Amino acid sequence: MTCLRLILGDQLNVRHSWLREVRGDVLYVLMEVRSETDYVCHHAQKVLAVFAAMRGFAQALAQAGHRVEYVRIGDARNRQDFAANLDWLIATFGITRLERMQADEWRLERLLVAAFDRCGLPQAVVSAEHFLLERAELINRFQKKVPRMEFFYRQMRRRYQILLEPDGEPLGGRWNYDGENREKWPGDPPAPDWPWQKHDLRALWQEIVDAGVQTMGEPAAAAFAWPLSRREATTWLADFVVRRLPHFGRFQDAMSMRSQTLFHAGLSFALNTKMLHPREVIAAAVTAFANGDVSLAACEGFVRQILGWREFIRGIYWARMPAYGSLNTLDARRPLPAWFWTGDTKLACLRAAIGQSLESGYAHHIQRLMLTGNFALLAGCHPDAVDRWYLGIYVDAFEWVQLPNTRGMSQFADGGIVGSKPYAGSAAYIHRQSDYCNGCHYRHALRHGERACPFNSLYWHFHVRHEPLLGRNPRLGMTYRSWLKMAADERAATLAQAEHYLAQLDAL
């Protein structure tokens, strides 16, 4: 009698209840398979990070006394598919029972349901024991009507007693300090480097190449930087709380040529692969506030992302899939510009954001939302293409968190389920929040003309072409009033400039 317990590459939780007891009748299985590397083109560092973290996790299980079977990408037995691999694993090890944790991605959950059912063995599916709300509760709460994020966040604060007065009201008298967290970074205080690692993954990279996996971006295999174990992830967390959290809130919306990371945490890969638990991350920030090391505004701004936004996005995903993944309310049809895969554009902000994404598999949330996402929205790029790009290029991108952020918040393809208005911005926003406009080929103050910033004319073109849908949105009233106040010839020139740019997106 042997039970096979399947662990996926984003289920590397050493504190899971499965692992509290060493049992000789349980075989833990981890697989590197082409079906997971190939469904989109992933960043080389994403594939490396997941595989290296999986291998380290499997080794730690074995050292703790658990039985482990690890199927490598180049293993001759590997049929490169979960279902096909289960066949020979069952036969080889005399498996009589199958168990797994819930998969976080809808695609993979459906695949594993079918694969386990096909085997015809007794089975069980358990919680991944990671999120603050279980999936069934989320689906029940989000299926009929999606709550606004702010009210959901307040409910979560009260439920988990985070940053509250004894009477249940928020510390400081306010739930949200977002208005204080939008400063442009002047260069001081200095932005500290992340505690980058120095892993030598060249041998693993060669295995990936030999297996025929196609990737994008730089592998950086000789000195791989991302945390690959719980120990390294907790080091990152401690470093963030001491060196970056004190300034995170003020500058979380800032962007700069002088620092790619500013005061951001860099914890999302470790969180999304479950090397860290959200409760311990929240607790670390709250403890720093309680000790007087960070301000309430800085602490609250960070807690809101983990306790509020992360759980909120997951609720939308699981309550609305699979239909959510095909929504295209704005009927966007254009392909992404070719420079999304090269960074070769005259737009300094996009050259910087895409260039660093290709280099490291990372860009922070404002770069994703208000640079690459904003441009794709204004240009009318197809949300399917935008989804594939975001899911592939970032090391922390798993569909449950990527899809609602991209298709919903960034592209407004869901028509307002995630956000009540599109996150569209002109060059004025980019100039206000960054130093990218300094020295750019384009001029941030110009709407039309040879070197007018494309964000400006595309911004107005977007609102004009979608006026039938967006014109009555109360949050966009000022935008449309400003458009109507422009002189007729100014409006015509702006729209003509946008049409010119839309006809040659690849050349921008």
What integer pLDDT is reported at residue 63 of this predicted model? Answer: 97
Q: Say yes or no to pLDDT of 1 above 90.
A: no
In a domain, 404, yes or no: yes
Residues 70 and 145 in one domain: no
* Same-domain check for residues 53 and 181: no
> What is the rounded average pLDDT of the residues 186-209?
95
CATH code for position 48: 3.40.50.620
Regarding whether 201 and 173 lie in a shared domain, the answer is yes
Contact between 235 and 275 under an 8 Å Cβ cutoff? The reply is no
pLDDT band at 178 (very low <50, low <70, confident <90, very high): confident
331 part of a folded domain: no
- Per the model's pLDDT, the better-predicted residue between 388 and 197 turns out to be 388
Tell me how far CA of residue 105 lies from CA of 9, 130, 314, 321, 408, in angstroms. 12, 14, 10, 10, 17
Q: Residue 391: which of 128, 37, 83 has the closest Cα?
A: 37
For the segment 366-385, the average pLDDT, to the nearest whole number, is: 97
Q: What is the pLDDT of residue 416?
A: 93
Q: What CATH code is carried by the domain that includes residue 279?
A: 1.25.40.80
The answer to whether residue 437 scores a pLDDT higher than 90 is yes
111 and 170 part of one domain: no
pLDDT above 80 (res 180): no
d(CA 56, CA 320): 35
The full 3-state SS of 24-62, as one line of letters, equals CCEEEEEECCHHHHCCCCCEHHHHHHHHHHHHHHHHHHH
pLDDT of 395 reads 97
Does residue 328 fall inside a structural domain?
no
* Whole-number Å distance between alpha carbons of 66 and 54: 15
Query: What pLDDT, on the 0 to 100 scale, is given for residue 197?
Result: 85
- Same domain (yes/no): 108, 159: no
Per-residue pLDDT averaged across 481-489, rounded?
96
Q: What is the largest CA-CA distance in the chain?
A: 80
Whole-number pLDDT of residue 182: 79
The pLDDT of residue 145 = 87
- Assess whether 284 and 357 both reside in one domain: no
Q: Is the pTM of this model over 0.75?
A: yes
What's the distance, CA 373 to chain centroid? 12
Q: Within this chain, do residues 121 and 146 fall inside the same structural domain, yes or no?
A: no
- 229 & 306 share domain: yes
Residue ending a domain, choose from 99, 126, 153: 126
Same domain, yes or no, for 162 and 296?
yes
Positive or negative torsion for Cα 497, 456, 490, 442? negative
Give the count of beta carbons closer than 10 Å to the beta carbon of residue 261.
19
Confidence category of residue 55, pLDDT binned at 50, 70, 90: very high
CA distance 113 to 67: 24
111-154 confidence digits (pLDDT tens): 999 999 999 999 999 999 999 999 999 999 998 888 889 999 99
The number of distinct structural domains making up the chain is 3
Residue 488 has pLDDT above 80, yes or no: yes
Mean pLDDT value across residues 318-324? 96
| Averaged pLDDT, 215-228 | 96
Domain that holds residue 53: 2-126
**Residue range 27-56: average pLDDT?**
97
Average pLDDT of the residues in 335-354: 98
CATH number of 440's domain? 1.10.579.10
User: If you average pLDDT over every residue of the chain, what do you get?
Assistant: 96
Instruction: Look at residue 459 in the predicted model and tell me its pLDDT.
Output: 98
- Asked whether residue 222 carries a pLDDT value surpassing 80, the answer given is yes
User: Do 302 and 39 contact (CB within 8 A), yes or no?
Assistant: no
Is 77 contained in some domain? yes
Same domain, 12 and 66: yes
Q: Which two tokens stand for residue 159?
A: 């439920």
Is residue 394 situated within a structural domain?
A: yes
Task: Over range 106-112, report the average pLDDT.
Answer: 97
Residue 487 DSSP SS3? coil
CA 316 to chain centre: 14
* Crossing angle of helices 135-142 and 311-320, rounded to 10°: 70
Measured CA to CA in angstroms, residue 508 lies from 206, 230, 238, 272, 407 at distances of: 36, 43, 42, 35, 24
Same domain, yes or no: 118 and 230? no
Where among 319, 346, 377 does a domain terminate? Answer: 319
Do 182 and 225 fall into the same domain?
yes
In a domain, 168, yes or no: yes
Query: Has residue 170 been placed in a domain?
Result: yes
Q: Of 65, 95, 126, which closes a domain?
A: 126
Give the C-alpha separation, 391 to 386, whole Å: 9
Crossing angle for the helix pair 149-160 and 311-320, to the nearest 10 degrees? 120
Q: Is residue 333 part of a domain?
A: no
